[in-house]
Chain A
Amino acid sequence: MLNIALIGNPNSGKTTLYNELTGSNQSVGNWPGVTVEKKTGKLRSKNIDANIIDLPGIYSLSTISLEEEIAAHYVTDRKMDLIINIVDASSLERNLFLSLQLIESKIPMVIALNAMDIVEKKKEKIDYNELSKLLGVKVVPISARNKIGIDDLINAVETYDFDKTYEPIRYSDEIEKTIDVFNKYLKDRFLSYRFFEDGIKAIDSIKIDKMDLANLLQAYYDERKKFKLDFDMILPEARYNKILKFVQETHVKTNPLEETETDRIDKILTHKIFGLPIFGLIMFIVFFLAFGPVGIFITDQFGWVLNQFFTWIINGVAALGMAPYISSLITNGVFGGLAAVVGFLPQLAILFFALAVLEDSGYMARAAFIMDRALRRFGLSGKSFIPMLIGFGCSVPAMANTRTLDRDEDRKITTMIIPFISCGAKAPIYGVFAGALFGGGSFLVVFSMYILGLIVAILSAILFKKTIFKSAKGNYIMELPEYRMPTLRNILLHTWERCKDFLVKAGTILLAAFILIWFFSYFGFVDGTFRLLDESEIGFSLLGSIGKFVLPILRPIGFTDWQATVAMLTGIVAKESVVGTLGILYGINGDVIQNGTMLYGAIQANFTSAQAYAFMVFALLSTPCIAAVSAMKRELNSWKWFIFIIAYEMLVAYFVAFVIFQIASIPIGTVLTYLISGIVIIFVAMMIRKYIKNKGRVCGDCDKCSKTSNCSLPKYIEFKEEIENQEGDEANE
């Protein structure tokens, strides 16, 4: 069995090639970082038995993000028998950089020169035979998108001669001598190259004799002095110089500055003035489709079908005549929970579809480009925008998307603030409460919820950045891919895959949780006996007991009856079940989720508007549903962080609801007094802050940098001296 790894730059067509080589259907994005986990498939070949492993795209073996590390470690640990290095011919130079690094490893390798159709379209030429000779490994021209050259590539893999090794490209004698020195202690030439480039980071996971290590480090400091250029730039520069030579010999280029189609589109979409409004408009359309009339209509239709299906199941189960607790488990525990999650699918599917169109066309990269400046203030990068946007639909896929972010801090911050963003499942709660108590102003109340969620998310991000993740800057460096026409097949694949992912999670991880919560809500002590309860008896259930127990704690935020508390607790399963539970608890017959107006009377009787608002705020900000909680645990991958964030969310929800309820409960005159004095205090504080900030400002060139001294970024004085010295040297010569 042969293990073949697909390695290449992000967005170089790796996943398309993977699909062609294995005959499987993975979706492809025009957005760097579509492959977040490695995928394995069988090579479509009659002659050999081989596994193809699709790894996340990397630009270099020196990595900056978690997903890149997965791919780089695969190479440095030599886990594969053969590498298929996919090289995007339309940006040959940068792609060959990785190829040269891979060649240094001496792992058997075939280069798939992709996007040859684009090269031809541009009337350029690449002499791949010559390139193959220069690199020392076989180069196969392909076009994965048009399915050209795939058989040649498979053939090259089948006939690969594993006995014949190739020689890595030799750089200058100076470099090779240094490599020899490192090799003496590391006893691995490939590792020596890595050590040269990345320093101590490269040998982190390698066991090395203490004596050797000391010698190695000594050698490192000695060798460093020999080079005029910065040590970590020597190898990359040598590689790029080699590449330049290769490319000059093999590649006939057109002028790269000539205006392309992409440039023309970009002139409008990233225009200085129109860029932002267009971006806003596109986002509005996405939202309108998913959550506007179209989305609601489809959701309603789907809900009806779902309802029919579940009624059929429930009737079927009842007809079978099983023990009551078993049929209750099936209808209420398993299917009840699933229905709550699945009913939400249509809106998500629309959201995913729209996002897939944006991704495939290449606009998503521009969205990150446009939004970066705005998000940087919160310690995030432009790339964080996408997971936050998905968060308005559902937190679960949003959290999975954080893996495309470069730094661990960015990922953690984004994951931790996503639950505050009001997801689609919370909408029914607002709908019912606002509709019952705020009448004509209900639209504003609902809107204020979305804004409040966003504000809390942003404030939390700033808080995390200022306290825990002080180094978080939300790094940003990103390639802008060329625009291309999205294909329907790929978009549908993309949408399907994400929906499937969502369903699989809802179906597996959550099932146990649903059953547990079912147990808590359908069993309890009635008149001293522990038994299965009827739906109307939920007040006696274990959950009801917990609700009554925690009620005193929730009193300060406006909870006056245990019904509201229990409803909030069932929100742990899925936020939309809050409304359903209230319906049961207030003894209303009928489907309150489908027809919220039935609840209006009960809510008007039991809540004041201040209480209702506090209730909505608490539902918005408190711990998300169990699906989001498990996704969060997975992304944070640490119990410490997980417990911290859950506690943090509960506290924030409690605090905000408390403040809002208390303020809303006092007379309007008092509120205004406090409000105005608050604004005055904030204003004065800001003025003082501004004064301190401006005082002692040195650089004068940073964009609103708050640092007054100790500027860690390049110092102009040093720059000046450096430049002066160099110019002085040149003048002397």
Chain B
Amino acid sequence: MLTQANIVALYFLERLLTLANKREILTMTLKEILPGQSCVVKQVYANNLRKRIIDMGIISGSKVTVKKTAPLGDPIEIIVKGYSLTLRKAEARTIIVDRIEE
């Protein structure tokens, strides 16, 4: 049986491999989308702002573009439904997305 640490390591290894293969659509969290990249929301996981995040337009199928990170590295600014929204990485990492290849 794999230990937790191993599973995490595997997860990142898998991430690296998929990053290398650039043609593939990538499933990752919104936190990992770099500024300038776009993605489509797949799933929003539980966090204490979940309902608000959904109501603000981050729902399955929404296209989200990451605009920038704040000077101190967090929060991030995204464009969703045509307006600018800022949220923390803590919440961003609970949002599962598919990265879009431009």
Beta-carbon contact of B77 and A719 below 8 Å: no
User: Residues of B contacting A230 with CB < 8 Å?
Assistant: 43-44
Contacts of B43 in A (CB 8 A): 230, 722
Tell me the smallest distance from the CB of A352 to a CB of chain B, in Å.
26
- A94-B81 in contact (CB<8A): yes
Pairwise interchain contact B49-A64, C-beta atoms closer than 8 A: yes
Knowing A232-B51, A477-B49, A480-B86 are in contact, say whether A275-B71 is a contact too (CB < 8 A): yes
Stretch among A76-84, A299-307, A396-404, A709-717 lining the B interface: A709-717
Query: Does B72 make an interface contact (CB < 8 A)?
Result: yes
Encode B11-38 as 1/0 by CB contact (under 8 A) with A: 1000000000000000101000000000
Q: Is A237 an interface residue (CB 8 A)?
A: yes
User: Residue-by-residue, is A83-117 near B (CB-CB < 8 Å gives 1, otherwise 0)?
Assistant: 00000001111100100000000000000000000
- Which of chain A's residues 160-177 have a Cβ closer than 8 Å to chain B? none
Report the Cα distance A247→B71, complex, angstroms. 35
Stretch of A366-374, A510-518, A620-628 that contacts chain B: A366-374
Which partner residue on chain A sits nearest B48 by CB separation? A475
Which of chain B's residues has its CB closest to A58's CB? B55
**B84 touching A701, Cβ below 8 Å:** no
Please give me the residue from chain B that is nearest to A719 by CB atom. Answer: B96
- B70 x A275 contact (CB < 8 A): yes
Judge whether A237 and B60 touch: CB under 8 Å.
yes
A214 at the interface (CB under 8 A from B): no
Interface string of B55-99 (1 = CB under 8 A from A): 111011110010011111111010101111111111101101000
- Selected contact of B70 from candidates A232, A372, A701, CB within 8 Å: A372
Check if B72 sits within 8 Å of A236, measured CB to CB. no
| A236 touching B55, Cβ below 8 Å | yes
Q: Are A476 and B88 in contact (CB under 8 A)?
A: yes
B70–A60 contact, CB under 8 A?
Answer: no
Report the bound CA distance from A279 to B51 in whole Å: 32
Q: How large is the interface on A (under 10, 10 to 19, 20 to 34, 35 or more residues)?
A: 35 or more
Query: Could you say which residues of chain B place their CB within 8 Å of the CB of A197?
Result: 51
Q: Are B4 and A717 in contact (CB under 8 A)?
A: yes
Binds B, one of A145-153, A265-273, A341-349, A460-468: A265-273
Contact A240 B84 (CB under 8 A): no
Number of B residues contacting the other chain (C-beta, 8 Å)? 52
**A94-B57, A369-B86 known; A256-B71 Cβ under 8 A:** no
Q: Per a CB cutoff under 8 Å, which of B72, B82, B90, B96 touches A256?
A: B82
**Cross-chain contact A713 with B93 (CB below 8 angstroms):** yes
Decide if B82 touches A253 in the complex (CB within 8 Å).
yes
If A59-B55, A232-B51 touch, does A480 touch B85 (CB 8 Å cutoff)? yes
Q: Does A635 contact B (CB under 8 A)?
A: no
A57 to chain B, nearest CB (A): 13
Complex alpha-carbon distance, A6 and B100, angstroms: 40
Is there contact, CB below 8 Å, between A91 and B82? yes
Given the known interface contacts A233-B59, A477-B52, A714-B93, the answer about A373 and B46 at a Cβ–Cβ threshold of 8 Å is no
Q: Mask for A456-487, Cβ within 8 A of B = 1, else 0?
A: 00000000000000000101111110000000
Given contacts A198-B51, A276-B71, contact A723 B81 (CB under 8 A): no
Bound together, the chains give a CA A233 to CA B43 distance in angstroms of 10
Instruction: Please give the distance in Å from A473's CB to the nearest CB on chain B.
Output: 7
The answer on a CB contact under 8 Å between B62 and A240 is yes
For A62, what are the chain B residues with a Cβ–Cβ distance below 8 Å?
51-52, 55
Contacts of A713 in B (CB 8 A): 47, 90, 93-94
Is the CB–CB distance between B87 and A236 below 8 Å? no
What's the Cα separation between A60 and B56 when bound, in Å? 8
A257 at the binding interface (Cβ < 8 Å): yes
Mark contacts of A226-241 with chain B using CB atoms, 8 A cut-off: 1 yes-contact digit, 0 otherwise: 0001101100110010
Q: Given A60-B52, A232-B51, A256-B82 in contact, is the A373-B4 Cβ separation under 8 Å?
A: no
Bound state CA distance, A280 and B69, in angstroms?
A: 18
Q: A407 to nearest B CB, angstroms?
A: 9
Is A48 in contact with chain B by the CB < 8 A criterion? no
- Give 10 CB contacts A-B under 8 Å: A93-B82, A94-B81, A272-B68, A372-B72, A476-B86, A477-B49, A698-B4, A713-B93, A719-B29, A720-B10
Where the two chains meet, the residues of B that have a C-beta atom closer than 8 Å to any C-beta of A are 4-5, 7-8, 10-11, 27, 29, 43-57, 59-62, 65, 68-75, 77, 79, 81-91, 93-94, 96
**Residues of A with Cβ closer than 8 Å to B?**
59-60, 62, 64, 90-94, 97, 197-198, 229-230, 232-233, 236-237, 240, 253, 256-257, 262, 266, 270-273, 275-276, 279, 369-370, 372-374, 376, 382, 473, 475-480, 698-703, 713-714, 716-717, 719-720, 722-723, 727
Given contact pairs A257-B65, A273-B71, A476-B75, enumerate 14 new A-B contacts (beta carbons under 8 Å): A64-B49, A64-B51, A237-B61, A240-B62, A262-B84, A372-B88, A473-B48, A473-B90, A477-B52, A479-B86, A713-B94, A714-B46, A719-B11, A719-B96
